[in-house]
Amino acid sequence: MNRHSSYSAPRGERPLHSHSSQRGRSSKRNTYNKRSWKDNKTLFTLVCYILPFILINLFILFLAISTPKAEYTISETKDYKTVDLSIKVRSLLPIKTMSVTLESEPIELEKEKGVYSTTLTTNGTLEIYVVGWNGMSDREYDHIATLDDGAPSIDQENYVMENGQLIINVEDSLSGVNYDAVYGTDENEQTVKPSSYNKDTGEVTFVMDTSLLNVFVPDYVGNISSASFSRVVEGIDTSTRGEDFPSDGKNGTNGAGGGSGSSTEETTKAKETTKAKETTKAKETTRPARPPKPKRLQKPRRLQKPRRLQKPRRLQKPARPRRLKKRLLQLRALPQLLPQPPLP
């Protein structure tokens, strides 16, 4: 009798043919052959050569075209005399040169924690120029007009002068007119204060007792403008009336002298002679002028005869080519060359 036992030999004592049979079965089942990406030449070239080359060139290009950027701020003025300027430069590479000019004049800057600062005292065109380590540059422009460096304006064309008063208009658009400091001086160099002023309309009124008044208008910064106004008295000067018109009647017409009759006769004769001369001149001038002779009419020009039309030229016959002429001559000579049939 054959009895089955559950005993199994250890692995070391098992026959080798069983492992080989299992390997053959596994090799038949798994037909996919695993390979590394390094075995693929195209993939290896792309990853190890082409991609690093592109990335390195892009980084170099980015550094080469990197441009510095200058950012500046101008603070608001409080006294219309000074204004603060601060500049900050943003750049990946170090800054090679930097210059700041106001109306083409260089300005000294103070650097603190990467910020350049200075104080401006005049108006003008501001220019900021920055150059990076790679040669790329940035240039910024701005016009500063917040400082009051001009005097107030006095309207010397539209003013009122009447009843011993002078009314003028003044204006200052930045710091404003200091109306409390406005004054004037007369021809005796005496100081004259304005009698009244209106800050809303800019009118200033002076009492003008003399013929000349110099007006001085300052602003809150200290700029002063001046203007002169004069008064002219129009009328007749009666101081020399007695000399021009004497009462004796010799040099004037107000006196009653003894020779009045003879003088009147002489004047009447003179009037008559002048009238006679005027009438003769008038007659000479009023003679009718002879009318100008009419111009002779020019004879009309004869019309030219129309030209005769030329007859059209006859068309020339086209010349026969030489080959055609030879062919015709040969055809004409054919009957002579051919043998003639015998007569019956």
pLDDT tens-digit profile of 221-273?
Answer: 889 999 999 887 554 554 555 555 555 545 544 444 444 444 445 555 545 55
Give yes or no for residue 309 having a pLDDT over 70. Answer: no
More confident residue, 303 or 166: 166
* 338-to-326, 327, 331, 344 alpha-carbon distances in Å: 18, 17, 11, 18
Give yes or no for residue 301 having a pLDDT over 90. Answer: no
Query: At 336, phi and psi to the nearest 5?
Result: -75, -30
Domain boundaries, the chain: 69-144, 153-230
Amino acid at 230: S
Q: What is the mean pLDDT of the chain?
A: 75
Give yes or no for residue 283 having a pLDDT over 70. Answer: no
pLDDT digits (tens, 9 = 90+) for 9-39: 555 555 554 444 455 455 545 554 556 767 7
Longest dimension (CA), the chain: 207
Token couple for 106: 């260089």
**CA neighbours within 13 Å on the CB side: how many for 28?**
6
Token couple for 205: 């009124």
Q: What angle do CA 188, 233, 202 make, to 5 degrees?
A: 70
Distance CA 90, CA 297 (A): 96
For tokens 């011993």, the residue is: 164
Distance CA 6, CA 11 (A): 15
Say which residues have a Cβ less than 8 Å from residue 144's Cβ, sequence separation at least 6.
Answer: 74, 83, 102, 120, 123, 124, 125, 126
Strand order in the sheet with 95-102: 105-106, 95-102, 124-132, 137-144
Write out the H or E segment, with its range, that includes residue 72. Answer: strand 69-74
pLDDT classification of 48: cutoffs 50, 70, 90: confident
Which one of 33-42, 59-68, 124-133 scores highest in mean pLDDT? 124-133
* Fold agreement between 69-144 and 153-230: yes
- Give me the mean pLDDT over the 131-136 stretch: 91
- Does domain 69-144 fall under CATH 3.40.50.2300? My reply is no
At 241 the pLDDT is: 52
Three-class SS state of 136: coil
Which one of 41-45, 188-192, 268-272, 291-295 scores highest in mean pLDDT? 188-192
pLDDT classification of 277: cutoffs 50, 70, 90: low
At 333 the pLDDT is: 73
Buried/exposed 161-196: b ≥16 CB within 10 Å, e otherwise:
beeeebbbbbebebbebbeeebebbbeeeeebebee
Q: Which of 19, 15, 38 shows the shortest CA–CA distance to 27?
A: 19
CATH of 153-230, one of 1.10.150, 3.40.720, 2.60.40, 3.40.50: 2.60.40
pLDDT classification of 329: cutoffs 50, 70, 90: confident
At 46 the pLDDT is: 87
* Whole-structure pTM value: 0.50
At 324 the pLDDT is: 72
Please tell me the chain's helix, strand, coil percentages from 3-state DSSP, rounded to the nearest 5.
Answer: 25, 25, 45
228, 216 in Cβ contact below 8 A?
no
Query: At 301, phi and psi to the nearest 5?
Result: -70, 145
Write out the H or E segment, with its range, that includes residue 56. Answer: helix 51-64
At 273 the pLDDT is: 52
Distance CA 85, CA 107 (A): 11
- The neighbouring-strand residues paired with 224 are 218
Residue 86 CB-density burial (10 A; 0-12 exposed, 13-18 middle, 19+ buried)? middle
